[in-house]
Amino acid sequence: MQQTDADLVFKALGDPTRRKLLDLLYEKNGQTLGQLCEHLAMARQSVTQHLGILETANLVSTVWRGREKLHFINPVPLHEVYERWVRKFEHQRLSLLYDIKKELEGE
* Residue range 25-42, pLDDT digits in tens: 999 999 999 999 999 999
Burial of 25 (0-12, 13-18, 19+ CB in 10 A): buried
CA–chain centroid gap for 31, Å, is: 16
Q: What is the pTM assigned to this prediction?
A: 0.81
Which of 17, 1, 5, 2 has its CA nearest to residue 85?
5
CB 82 within 8 A of CB 88: no
* Identity at 34, one-letter amino acid code: G
**CA distance linking residue 98 with residue 83, whole number of Å:** 22
Digit-coded pLDDT (tens) for 12-22:
999 999 999 99
The kind and range of the H/E element at 63 are: strand 60-65
pLDDT surpasses 90 at 107: no
Q: From residue 71, give the alpha-carbon distance in Å to each of 2, 27, 81.
A: 27, 12, 21
* Distance in angstroms between the alpha carbons of the first and the last residue of the chain: 53
